[in-house]
Amino acid sequence: MNLSARDEQLRELMDDPDCDPQRLHATLRRFGIVNRLVAGWGRVYRTRLRDVLSRLDRPARVLDLGSGGGDVIAHLAGLAARDGLRAHFTGADPDPRAHQMATSRQIPGATFRCADAEELLRRGDSFDVVISNHVIHHLGAAELQTFIAASRRLATTTVLHGDIARGRLAYGLFAVGITPLAPGTFLRTDGLRSIRRSHQRAELAAALGTPWSVTQPTPFRLLAQGPGLG
């Protein structure tokens, strides 16, 4: 497998509007387990997000762009509640299938909208913090610039985009490690395609430019952080 460059031509199976709905449902449900194991949002919360939320003198407003089935919001909302932090989480995803899954979760302190970043901007919405998980690798060069610009305009303090760091070890470990969770889902095929579509740290830093910083908070993960403009 050649992982020396991004393969932007790959398309994930679950992005097909005509994909098997049962497999899609199972995939979205199991993202909760997968993301807790590999996405690193617990560490990002402890090292980046908790301090931002605690400094506000009112309930924080956090937006998750491309929120899928809502598992990242469920995780972060639980961590904030455990720490006694007041926060309201909004998930936005333009895919009605993901939106339906998210709204069925009934997460305390969270709401979900079937919308993308541009629609939220048109409505005049604003949030203290904007995050995303596994969105950036889906985007081509022009789409990426549009997305990160919109995310900064929606945020008043900071933006945090989490994604995969492309590499052979990540590919090999995921291919083996996902096996127990993969039956009946798109997890294995789409996960491996995601790795092949993803950036390496220097690539993403170059693509984003100033004022973004790109770090690796946990193994095989990238975190792009930039200031809000809202």
- The pLDDT of 160-166, averaged and rounded, is 98
Query: What's the whole-model pTM score?
Result: 0.96
For residue 3, tell me if it sits in a domain.
no
Q: What is the CATH number of the domain that holds 184?
A: 3.40.50.150
Is pLDDT above 90 for 230?
Answer: no
For the cut 80, the answer to whether the pLDDT of residue 164 exceeds it is yes
- The interaxial angle of helices 187-197 and 168-177, nearest 10 deg, is 170
Q: What is the mean pLDDT of residues 32-54?
A: 94
**Is residue 6, in this structure, part of any structural domain at all?**
no
- Is 197 domain-assigned? yes
11 lies in some domain: no
Question: Which pLDDT score is estimated for 106?
Answer: 87
Question: Does pLDDT of 51 surpass 80?
Answer: yes
Give 14's contacts (C-beta < 8 A, 6+ positions apart).
23, 24, 27, 186, 190
Instruction: Give the pLDDT band of residue 19 (cuts 50, 70, 90).
Output: very high
> Is 87 part of any domain?
yes
> Is 101 part of a structural domain of the chain?
yes
Residue 41 lies in a domain: yes
- What is the share, in percent, of the chain residues with pLDDT greater than 70? 100
* pLDDT at residue 1, as a whole number: 75
Return left, alpha or beta for 99; rule: phi > 0 is left, psi -120 to 50 is alpha, else beta: alpha
Asked if residue 78 has pLDDT above 80, the reply is: yes
Per-residue pLDDT tens for 99-149?
Answer: 999 999 889 999 999 999 999 999 999 999 999 999 999 999 999 999 999
**What rounded mean pLDDT belongs to the chain?**
96
Structural domain for 134, as ranges: 18-227
If pLDDT is split at 50, 70 and 90, which confidence band does 181 have? very high
What's the whole-number mean pLDDT along residues 172-186?
96
Q: Which residue has the higher pLDDT, 37 or 224?
A: 224
Number of alpha carbons in the 13 Å side-chain half-sphere of residue 121: 18
73 has a pLDDT exceeding 80 = yes
Q: Are 216 and 167 in contact (CB under 8 A)?
A: no
